Amino acid sequence: MNRRDILAGSIAGVSAAATLAAAGAASAQTAATELRWRMTSSYPASLDAVYGAGEIFIQVLGELSQGRMQIQHFASGEIVGGLQALDAVQNGTVECCDTSPFYYVGKDPAFTFGSAMPFGLTTRQQNSWLFQAGGLNLLNELFGRYNVFGLPIGNTNAQMAGWFRKEIKSVEDLRGLKMRVGGLAGRIVAKLGVVPQQIAAGDIYPALERGAIDAAEWVGPYDDERLGLYKIAPYYYYPGWWEASSTIFLLINKGRWDALTPFDQALMRVAAQDAMTLTIAKYDQLNSVAIRRLVAGGAQLRSFPQDVMDACYKSANEVFAEIGGENEMFKRLHDHLTGFRNEQNLWHQIAEYSYQTFMIRSRKL
Amino acid sequence: MNRRDILAGSIAGVSAAATLAAAGAASAQTAATELRWRMTSSYPASLDAVYGAGEIFIQVLGELSQGRMQIQHFASGEIVGGLQALDAVQNGTVECCDTSPFYYVGKDPAFTFGSAMPFGLTTRQQNSWLFQAGGLNLLNELFGRYNVFGLPIGNTNAQMAGWFRKEIKSVEDLRGLKMRVGGLAGRIVAKLGVVPQQIAAGDIYPALERGAIDAAEWVGPYDDERLGLYKIAPYYYYPGWWEASSTIFLLINKGRWDALTPFDQALMRVAAQDAMTLTIAKYDQLNSVAIRRLVAGGAQLRSFPQDVMDACYKSANEVFAEIGGENEMFKRLHDHLTGFRNEQNLWHQIAEYSYQTFMIRSRKL
């Protein structure tokens, strides 16, 4: 084998760069186009970690384009409400939004896969599904029907199941429980007798305090700490099986995305990846510190009993079958993600989970 | 609160972009400088996943710079041997390399933290430590002493403990075992009677076949499959506690790095983040497929018995104390990473590990 053969891989890499250079020169006129967009957020700026994913994206994009591409970020409610973000992008009121796609399960239940399928993937599995297994392409097929193109920009990592005024000792305790829980999770627990409630973040505390609801899920320790719920609903349950990870998406008006040069699209894709890596890293660090403060402040950690987990899992699979029977896109995404999940859990169980088991046990020694 | 106050966060973001635009304009002359570098790899091109991290970095950098920044990738042995990569960058023979820093524990044991501390962090924890908790800055303090600057470009994720000709049923079975295992892991298991061997990848199979060694660790299912060891050493052990994750680093000659414009440094940093995200996603998918093929081909999965894990953990902590007593940088990195690890394991244990436990059990039902 001569040197040229040995270097074939490398030469291919350099050729790609050269091709890109030519493409870059060809698009030099358009590449100089200034971009001034508005991004409406589904989150309040006070939730600085989740809102921060969009902030990082904007900053990095400005940096990569040397200030040529500038996006102004508007908190939830500034232009439109947090749950109207998709509408605003779809109809062109704004060019893009940072949001959790499962806020739109009312439009199409398949949007859940853009954030988290209940009993779905961990953060690393979700990213492998998105970037390596074709998940992102499938999602963009869905998003395209709503005139938007999606780039993942972060993940909250595994969430908690929320705050409960009373302990849940068996599946019987779910009957009649009024709980703030949305999306497909609400539909899943409704089968077990929970009465799901839709309540905005700012109204959760008073609703729990006056007994209008018995429980409320929000995000994880760092974000939950802001709401102060441990004072009135001290039982802090896990795991949050409806969001074992939760992807934060940038959704861009499709016409606007398609009109970008390939170069500008590449800058956006790479800025999104940077926001993804940094947001995941940030949430892990912030949550580990916040959980200690919450427990010191009175939060009482509780895991769901096995029968509750089993009943929820069974109920979830029933709901998936019901929706999948009438929604082809939902079924395609569900089957794709579930097949991937089962293979991933087989592998993760061997090398990483067994390691974590040892380390968690050793920590207690 | 008026609109300006509400938007304070967003305005700060836009101002940063504007500042960067000004900086970009100021550096317009230098930004036009062509960059032609050589990158020597510690890996053969045939290990396409780990070698691929550098490939992605090069391709994305070419894309972000529109071909202005081109790096040519040389496989291990093309310019210098895989373990001479740091030397070649340090003395300026090449501008950069893609490598595993713990190959250089002979120069300084603190290099282990650039890849993996035995009984260290999982991939997500390692990235949180690097990007959020200050780990990368600490590492660059170490790297600076060797005239290089480091950017993480990928991770192999949790590794396996390798291939054994006979089962390991207790810590007694380690006595006299001739095993290909390097770095600090070799020193740790030597305390338990293992005789560590340094053998290049291509020589492992014949050494095992003729009985010159009894066991060999390599990477994980996808990379291990290439070596075909399951045919002669069928017991495939886990967890690979010396690499619960293993960071792949781009090391750049410090003079070259410092001479780059801030803009070009930013392009490199962001290209590295993209390679990181994609390489992690790739390894998870490839390993899940490879483990099935290996088991179908005759590999027999075995987990280390509890007494072996306990003895290795104890031995590792002794080695860390010995080295830390005479190496201040090692001690600083060890204490920093270990403190972070303990907080992370507390948090991961609650939301994510409990979820994975349920999903792994449910998979078997």
Render pLDDT for B311-342 as a digit per residue (tens, 0 to 9): 999 999 999 999 999 999 999 999 999 999 99
pLDDT digits (tens, 9 = 90+) for A293-322: 999 999 999 999 999 999 999 999 999 999
Mean residue pLDDT of chain B comes to 91
Nearest of B218, B240, B239, B241 to residue B230 by alpha carbon? B218
Q: What is the pLDDT of residue B364?
A: 54
A238 membership: H or E segment, kind and range: strand A235-238
Would residue A346 count as lying in a domain? no
Q: Which residues of A touch B357 (CB under 8 A)?
A: 353
Q: Sheet holding B178-180: strands in order across?
A: B195-197, B178-180, B215-216, B162-164, B235-238, B300-303
B62 touches chain A (CB under 8 A): yes
Q: Which residue of A has its CA nearest to B290?
A: A347
- pLDDT-derived band at A202, boundaries 50, 70, 90: confident
Quote the pLDDT of residue B29. 43
Q: What is the ipTM of this complex?
A: 0.91
Q: How far is residue A247's CA from residue A104's CA, in Å, rounded to a whole number?
A: 14
Which candidate from B64, B128, B287 shows the least CB-CB separation from A347? Answer: B287
Does A217 reside within a domain? no
How far apart CA B356 and CA A348 sit, in angstroms, is 9
For residues B266-275, give the mean pLDDT: 98
CA A365 to chain centre: 35
**pLDDT for B9 beyond 50:** no
The answer as to whether B330 is a domain residue is: no
The answer to whether the Cβ–Cβ distance between B356 and A353 falls below 8 Å is yes
Residue A336 has phi, psi (to 5 degrees) of -65, -50
What token pair was written down for B29? 């002359």
Q: What is the reported pLDDT for B314?
A: 97
Number of helices and strands in chain A (H, E): 16, 11
Closest to A78 (Cα-Cα) out of A101, A54, A57, A102: A54
Q: Per residue in A278-293, pLDDT tens?
A: 999 999 999 999 999 9
In this prediction, residues B23-37 reach a mean pLDDT of 64
Compute how many other C-beta atoms are within 10 angstroms of the C-beta atom of residue B269: 13
Q: What is chain A's mean pLDDT, rounded?
A: 91
Q: Which residues of A245-274 are buried (b: 16+ CB within 10 A; e: fewer)?
A: bbbbbbbbbbebbeebbebbbbbbebbbbb
> What number of other Cβ atoms are within 10 A of residue A107's Cβ?
13
B273 contacts in A (CB within 8 Å)? 270, 273-274, 277-278
CATH number, domain with residue A92:
3.40.190.170
Q: How many domains does chain A have?
A: 1
A48: in domain: yes
Which class for B91: exposed (0-12), middle (13-18), buried (19 or more C-beta within 10 A)?
exposed
Arithmetic mean of pLDDT, B250-261: 98
Mean pLDDT of B211-223: 96
Instruction: Decide if B315 touches A, using CB distance below 8 A.
Output: no
- Cα Dmax for chain B: 79
Mean pLDDT of B68-93: 97
Q: Is residue A305 part of a domain?
A: no
Please tell me the distance from the alpha carbon of residue A339 to that of residue A64, in angstroms, as a whole number. Answer: 37
pTM (2 d.p.) = 0.91
Q: What is the DSSP letter of A343?
A: H
* Nearest neighbour of B273 by CB, restricted to A123, A132, A273: A273
Name the residue type at position A365: L
Find, in chain A, the residue whose alpha carbon is nearest to that of B41.
A10
Q: Is residue A253 part of a domain?
A: yes
Least confident piece of the model among A40-44, B121-125, B179-183: B179-183
The CB density around residue B288, as the number of other CB atoms within 10 Å, is 23
Nearest to A66 among B20, B346, B350 (CB): B20
pLDDT at residue B83 tops 60: yes
Question: What is the residue range of A73's domain?
Answer: 11-157+245-285
Q: Which of residues 72-111 of B touch A (CB under 8 A)?
A: 72-75, 78
Question: Residue B87 is encoded by which pair of tokens?
Answer: 């030397």
Is residue A339 one of the residues assigned to a domain?
Answer: no
Best mutation target, B265, B288, B294, to test chain A (most A CBs within 10 A): B288
- Cis status of the peptide bond prior to B109, with omega within 30 of 0: no
Considering the domain boundaries, does residue A89 fall inside one? yes
A14: contact with B, CB 8 A cutoff: yes
